[in-house]
Amino acid sequence: MKRKMIAALLFIGLMLSGASGFAAERTPIKVPDILGYQTLKCDFHMHSVFSDGNVWPTVRVDEAWVEGLDAISLTDHIEYLPHKDYVISNHDSSYEIAKRAGDQNNILVIKGSEVTRSMPPGHLNAIFITNSSRLDGKDWREALEIAHEQGGFIFWNHPCWTGQQPDGIGRWYEEHSEILDKGLLQGIEVVNSGSYCPQAHQWAIEKNLTMLANSDIHPPIHSRYDIAGGEHRPITLVFSRDRSIEGIEEALRARRTALLNGDVVIGREDFLKAIFEESIEIVFPSVTVVVDGSAYVQIRNKSDIDFHLVSGNGETDLRVAETLTISGGKTALLRISGNEGTKAGRRSVPVSYNVENMWTAPEQSLSVTLNIDVNFENRADPGTER
């Protein structure tokens, strides 16, 4: 018994030191508020030592604070508890411990758990629940019903996970239609641990499910992502009426989310367009171009998201660069020039681009228009120059 106690203490000590060397500086990811909503950065799928994670719950709060997140949910497995010989608890323990730390650090902590089954139906998270222990039973249908009765928001985790789909292709089963028809499925992970699932993206569109991107992190976050070097876990951008758990829940149920995975942004067209338009500013709105010459337009990116543009231009008055990257927090120069036969005069010229790293559907990028006020001038007659 004494040896077992010493082993347990050593184990917990290692977990508590999981964030050793982690920078204690908060660096929020700059993403603009849009459409009258606050843009909250959230991760609704992660683990601690109370299931198969490798850190104490407070470490998850510290990591979220450093990365500038607003809300997290520790969704430890109900059925899979490999550390149970060392950590004796109930299924709500990780939430209770993290909640106290979250209150101190102004991180919103949402109660949640993961119902863990083979495929189908696979793994499902239930968040905003009131009692995780009540989900502990043999019948996964009953567990989801109980989560639903508790007001839970239920989403399907990693449909393309090779642990359950060896070819990495997501498949929709009868069981998923069953729980969707019963109102027991509200969301789906389109991105898990940085891995994008195109089938999940398409199902979210077709079946009107909330899109989610989560880390599903088990080890310390800095062992997977170079946080100090500017990398970030995949996160769900939630467009909430306010910074509260109630606001987040309302937004998730209304499907007001977009996903940030590296430099790729995924979501509905109206949300992505609003993010782009709120991020981009043409520094000097008016520019003069000699008809057969060229000029530069300065475009500032106020967000931390890099935008990779490919020309979709169809107008005749301007020629523009075929590609343009507007890096986060930087100002880029867009070279423009007049076309042969362009008439002199001032007018607003629409310049069309596709934003390659903003995906509205699988293999479909966002189309945007930059309106540039251009004063076209004829070149002066050389005989009149002095």
Domain-ending residue, one of 218, 235, 262: 262
Task: Decide if 252 is inside a domain.
Answer: yes
* Burial of residue 312, with CB atoms counted within 10 A of its CB: 0-12 exposed, 13-18 middle, 19 or more buried: middle
**Residues in contact with 324: Cβ distance below 8 Å, sequence separation at least 6, in sequence order:** 299, 309, 332, 334, 353
Cα-Cα end-to-end distance for the chain: 99
Helix, strand, or coil here: 25? coil
1: pLDDT confidence band, cut at 50, 70 and 90? very low
Residue 363 domain flag: yes
* pLDDT tens-digit readout, 218-263: 999 999 999 988 899 999 999 999 999 999 999 999 999 999 999 9
User: Residue 85's CB: how many other CB atoms inside 10 A?
Assistant: 11
Range of the domain at 224: 2-262
The packing angle between helices 57-67 and 2-16, to 10°, is 10
Q: Is residue 269 part of a domain?
A: no
Question: Residue 88 pLDDT more than 80?
Answer: no
**Is 242 in the same domain as 303?**
no
Identity of residue 378: N
DSSP assignment letter at 380? P
Say whether both 220 and 343 belong to one domain.
no
Is 327 a domain residue?
yes
Q: Is residue 274 part of a domain?
A: no
* Rounded-to-integer distance, Cα 261 and Cα 272, Å: 14
Residues 333, 221 within the same domain: no
Question: Are 158 and 123 within 8 A, CB to CB?
Answer: yes
Q: Is residue 271, in this structure, part of any structural domain at all?
A: no
pLDDT at residue 8 in the model: 46
- Please indicate, yes or no, whether residues 138 and 244 belong to a single structural domain of this protein: yes
pLDDT tens digits, 120-167: 999 999 999 999 999 998 899 999 999 999 999 999 999 999 999 999
Answer with the one of 230, 262, 294 that is the final residue of a domain.
262
Same domain, 319 and 179: no
Q: Do 217 and 308 fall into the same domain?
A: no
47-84 burial code (b ≥16 CB/10 A, e <16): bbbbbbbbbbbbbbbbbbbbbbbbbbbbbbbbbebebe
Residues 241 and 308 in one domain: no
| Domain total of the chain | 2
Query: What digits encode the pLDDT tens for the residues 342-357?
Result: 788 888 888 999 999 9
74 and 154: one domain?
Answer: yes
Comparing C-alpha atoms, which of 23, 53, 51, 50 is closest to residue 217? Answer: 53
Helix, strand, coil % over all residues of the chain, rounded to 5: 25, 35, 40
Q: Is residue 291 part of a domain?
A: yes
Report the CATH number at residue 315.
Answer: 2.60.40.10
* Shared domain check, 30 and 161: yes
Picking from 262, 292, 316, the residue at the C-terminal end of a domain is: 262
The CATH number covering residue 199 comes to 3.20.20.140
| 18 and 148 co-located in one domain | yes
Read off the pLDDT of residues 177-188 as tens digits, 9 standing for 90 and up: 999 999 999 999
294 and 247 co-located in one domain: no
Residue 210 located in a structural domain: yes
For the whole prediction, is pTM greater than 0.85? Answer: yes
Does residue 384 surpass a pLDDT of 60?
Answer: no
251 and 297 fall within a common domain? no
